[in-house]
């Protein structure tokens, strides 16, 4: 690594000397950096101050085992804001690479801006696995699918471990598990009928990793909420009570209608009188007096004849 650092120092000094010799007039690009996810590498940069809008940018790379810069074919005339795909340029994931960027126009050039040293395997970030969670009584079953990059030629023989972060939704209690990869993994000794959320991340030997989004599931179907059941029962009871009251009122009206239609007038008056709803001036006694008066009239008529 000492020789590699000397090479970088030599490159920086050479760039400065080249700039003085050619009369550089464009500002050099800034913020040159390389990012990588799942061994797919991209270089980004910012134009220097007062860089004209028609300026283009060229990217070159060098590796520790070589002594010459090579242009990246797809990145010899980039515009401001574009990125450079370095995935093919960084062929050996175990080697160390450096990239540099230069601005140019038809008549002017800038000095080169060099990136930090980059090793694909150790500087890449492994994406999250796909996770599906289901309950199994007092446990959770996790179905896992690893990122495709872990099946690549350089990583397929590595032993991949996984980190599981488990959180109980009810009170936030949590714990972490380190387990070897399996397409189906079981997390045991959990509480039944309780919801847990799980995040999973790959633990590669050389790289960093991004955890998955939390996936939540109950260990078993949750018990019915007692308050919910009480509200349901109370609603059913109220509906039944309302139905019974309606039936009683309807039955009472029906009975009164039948009696009023079928019974003699005098008996209806008696019933109405006992209920306190007889028409004014009518009573059982008045009805009886009317009947007696009718009988006396008929008797007097017979005697006159």
Domains of the chain: 30-123 (2.60.40.10), 126-219 (2.60.40.10)
- Please state whether 34 falls in left (phi above 0), alpha (psi between -120 and 50) or beta: beta
Q: Which of helix, strand or coil describes residue 66? A: coil
Name the phi and psi angles at 4, rounded to 5: -65, -40
Alpha carbon 137 to chain centroid distance?
24
Alpha carbon distances (Å) from 289 to 35, 243, 293: 115, 45, 6
Q: Enter the pTM of the model.
A: 0.61
Per-residue burial over 104-116, b = 16 or more CB atoms within 10 Å of its CB, e = otherwise: eeeeebbbbbbbe
Cα–Cα distance between 28 and 161 in angstroms, integer? 43
Residue-level pLDDT, tens digit, the chain, 305 residues: 444 444 444 444 444 444 444 445 899 999 999 999 999 999 999 999 999 999 999 999 999 888 799 999 999 999 999 999 999 999 998 999 999 999 999 999 999 999 999 999 899 999 999 999 999 999 999 999 988 888 776 676 666 789 999 999 999 999 999 999 889 999 999 999 999 999 999 887 777 889 999 999 999 986 555 555 667 778 887 888 878 877 777 666 666 565 556 555 555 555 555 555 555 554 445 545 554 555 545 555 554 44
- Please state whether 221 falls in left (phi above 0), alpha (psi between -120 and 50) or beta: beta
Within 10 angstroms of residue 15's Cβ, the number of other Cβ atoms is 18
């Amino acid at each position: 690594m000492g020789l590699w650092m000397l090479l970088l120092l030599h490159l920086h000094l050479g760039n400065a000397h080249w700039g003085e010799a050619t009369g550089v007039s464009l500002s050099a690009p800034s913020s040159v950096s390389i990012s990588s996810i799942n061994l797919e590498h991209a270089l980004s940069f910012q134009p220097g101050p007062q860089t004209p809008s028609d300026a283009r940018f060229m990217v070159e790379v060098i590796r520790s085992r070589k002594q010459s810069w090579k242009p990246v074919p797809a990145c010899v005339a980039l515009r401001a804001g574009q990125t450079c795909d370095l995935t093919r340029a960084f062929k050996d994931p175990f080697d160390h690479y450096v990239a540099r960027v230069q601005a140019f126009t038809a008549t002017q050039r800038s000095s080169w801006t060099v990136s930090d040293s980059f090793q694909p395997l150790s500087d890449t970030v492994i994406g999250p696995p796909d996770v599906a969670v289901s309950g199994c009584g007092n446990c959770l079953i996790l179905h896992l699918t690893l990122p495709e990059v872990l099946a690549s030629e350089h990583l397929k023989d590595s032993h991949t471990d996984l980190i599981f972060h488990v959180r109980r939704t009810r009170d936030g209690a949590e714990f972490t598990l380190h387990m070897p990869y399996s397409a189906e993994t079981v997390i045991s000794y959990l509480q039944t009928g309780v919801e847990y959320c799980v995040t999973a991340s790959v633990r590669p030997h050389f790289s960093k990793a991004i955890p998955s989004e939390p996936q939540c599931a109950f260990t078993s179907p949750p018990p019915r909420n007692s308050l919910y059941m009480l509200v349901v029962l109370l609603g059913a009871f109220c509906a039944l009570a309302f139905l019974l009251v309606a039936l009683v009122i309807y039955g009472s009206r029906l009975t009164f209608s039948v009696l009023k239609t079928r019974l003699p007038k005098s008996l209806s008056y008696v019933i109405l009188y006992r209920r306190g709803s007889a028409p004014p001036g009518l009573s059982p006694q008045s009805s009886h007096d009317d009947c007696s008066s009718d009988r006396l009239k008929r008797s007097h008529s017979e005697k006159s004849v």
